[in-house]
Chains A and B, each alone.
Chain A
């Protein structure tokens, strides 16, 4: 599904290379966890895949079901099936959550040549997903993320994921800022979306999340590349030993 080969990317304004030859293959139905020290480039990887401006890919490829992601603008990547649950979701004053969700879903459907969803069907979809994620009517009515707590923002990201039904879900530190109850709600939301033709890349700093979203593979990302891969036991090992073996060299 997702194939990343020898990916190099730098911060455009500084010319500083962050991703330094990263390889990763994710197959449909799989959950991959990416762990690593702060500053390793985990968020950068997610941003480069989603098409955030400000990064320059200097080498390598990233494809989703054979489609070259790097040649597409962020909206086209989303329509192709990429979804990134952000580490720091932004607030969008003046754009209502429901309006936004419906606009996004319909834009993706149009891009894929599908018809727009009817309002009753959309409301049914929304009510179901919001209920499972314990998202109140009030949160739906408010502008996107405005005045939401950290945990509410993260749940709202998962709500968007549930509505948009992407092929590839990338979760960037969705667990940070969540208490244990909220973490369980989010994990259940994610697990509810598991399917044989959907894949997940779960970026996390802590093993805790992986008790609830059990990965098939765990990778360590350090200094801009995958330096070690294994099964769920690798996460436990990292939890016990820390990232000292992979630490960034002092600046």
Chain B
């Protein structure tokens, strides 16, 4: 086999479209580092299966087109979009609301009041206005989280850094607790566009923040939604992050969280994947001493959807505890992928890491791949991982049916029970209720019974 230099490889239709899009929008986009970021993407293009991190999610073949970057929606379009999107599920959580349409912040649709003293929310778009330098415009620290670890080299991160238009900057002062959660609500106008959003979350030492993110778009429209969240959790601080992905059935969603958790800090992370034809959620977490990371995921996919959750958890301090539990229910011809790597630095003695990935296949043609890995360079650690893939247990089905519960209802009970291990662990009652309703709606939407 001869190796073709990457740069000389023939560009796919999607890659050609991305190249052209960048050339077209480059001049209009403020902010530093875009060309460098794009160069990182362009060298190798969309990652294919021979790139280990993309072995099961070959974007080179799965991404066949690249819609134009979205323009800022008019106020009328924004209002109509919000109206069409209907009731905000997280309203019951009493959250402040930062609304984006096609990746652009819409202040008129947002409600940022009452977050409390010491909590500031602004838009990345406003920070970018009027200058190419990030510092001094409210964007200080953007990009810092990408300096190390896998995020720096990731092509989806590079794309987000090249194209981003807007996003949230949330800063919580040291010792401050947010008075209400912040919801980031991503809506889509229905145009087939690419949206690129970048968020910055900085929780000061001893602070506490709660962020609820919802991604929604209509069925039948191919949008490409890129998101990159960079978060810094200060010493002893707490961040709770919920990422609820309800994209339409033709959407492609790529989300990356790059987070540094300082000593004694806590990150509680929940991802619910309910939609999109192609979804990839990446987490790059760097854990300091005595930190606690919980990352849990529920993936519910049907049709021909492909959903990927890829985690890289880097223990770089002593005595940190990390718990990752990802569960997928996979129906029809859908596919779920889990890749998780716990890396334990030589200094990270006393690390306690546990990672589990479990999938239940609800049809003969459903597929699930799980690849949990441990890379341990310290000797005094307790790390474990496990993965299972299988159908619903016939013995359990029979037991439930033998008590009179019909086949279809039996499956519902068992799917709910399977995902319950993830959903039950969501601490906030109103948030848990939203997620449970999502799961319920998905289960009710299964067309086939037994």
Contacts and interface: CB of A to CB of B under 8 A. Distances in A.
A89 B404 CA distance: 16
Interface string B307-344: 00000000000000000000000000000000000000
B328 to A, nearest CB: 15
Chain B: interface size category: 20 to 34
Contact of A92 (B406, B407, B417): B417
Interface in A138-194: 143, 160, 164
Interface in B388-441: 394-396, 398-407, 409-410, 413-414, 416-418, 420-421
A90 B404 contact: no
Contact of B403 (A53, A73, A93, A160): A160
Interface in A103-139: 103-105, 107-108, 111
A111 B408 CA distance: 14
Nearest to A160: B403
A93 B409 contact: no
14 contacts: A51-B401, A53-B394, A73-B407, A74-B402, A75-B405, A75-B407, A75-B410, A77-B402, A78-B403, A92-B414, A94-B417, A95-B414, A104-B403, A143-B417
Interface in B132-164: none
A117 to B, nearest CB: 13
A84 to B, nearest CB: 6
Given A94-B420, A103-B413, A89 B399 contact: yes
B401 A92 contact: no
A208 interface: no
A21 B136 CA distance: 89
A206 interface: no
Contact of B398 (A52, A79, A107, A111): A52
A51 B402 contact: yes
A103 B409 CA distance: 9
Contact of A90 (B396, B401, B413): B396
A93 B406 CA distance: 19
B409 to A, nearest CB: 7
A246 interface: no
A79 to B, nearest CB: 5
Contacts of B417: 92-95, 143
Most A CB contacts (10 A, CB to CB) among B398, B404, B410 go to B404
Nearest to A78: B404
Interface string A81-96: 0011010011011110
Contacts of A213: none
Contacts of B413: 95, 100, 103
Given A111-B404, A160-B403, 12 more contacts: A74-B402, A77-B402, A79-B404, A100-B413, A103-B405, A103-B413, A104-B403, A104-B405, A107-B403, A107-B406, A164-B403, A164-B404
B73 to A, nearest CB: 43
Nearest to A103: B405
A50 B417 CA distance: 24
A105 B402 CA distance: 12
Nearest to B420: A94
A50 B401 CA distance: 9
Contact of A75 (B395, B401, B414, B416): B401
A49 B405 CA distance: 17
Given A75-B407, A103-B409, A107-B409, A92 B400 contact: yes
Interface in A2-25: none
A164 B396 CA distance: 19
A52 B394 CA distance: 10
B291 to A, nearest CB: 29
A72 to B, nearest CB: 11
A88 to B, nearest CB: 10
B398 A74 contact: yes
Contact of A94 (B398, B409, B410, B421): B421
Contacts of A75: 401-402, 404-407, 410
Interface in B231-247: none
Contacts of B398: 51-53, 74
A108 B414 CA distance: 18
Nearest to B421: A94
Contacts of A92: 396, 399-400, 414, 417
A188 B216 CA distance: 57
Contacts of A74: 398, 401-402
Contacts of B403: 78, 83, 100, 104, 107-108, 160, 164
B416 A84 contact: no
Most B CB contacts (10 A, CB to CB) among A77, A95, A100 go to A95
A160 B402 CA distance: 11
B166 to A, nearest CB: 40
Contacts of B405: 75, 103-104, 107
A78 B402 contact: yes
A53 B414 CA distance: 18
Most A CB contacts (10 A, CB to CB) among B399, B403, B410, B413 go to B403
B420 to A, nearest CB: 4
Contacts of B396: 90, 92
Q: Across chains A and B, which 4 residue pairs bring their CB atoms closest together, nearest first?
A: A94-B417, A78-B404, A108-B404, A104-B403
Interface in A22-55: 50-53
Contacts of B414: 92, 94-95
A99 B413 CA distance: 10
Contacts of B394: 53
A73 B405 CA distance: 10
Contact of A100 (B400, B406, B418): B400
A104 B404 CA distance: 5
Most B CB contacts (10 A, CB to CB) among A74, A86, A108, A164 go to A74
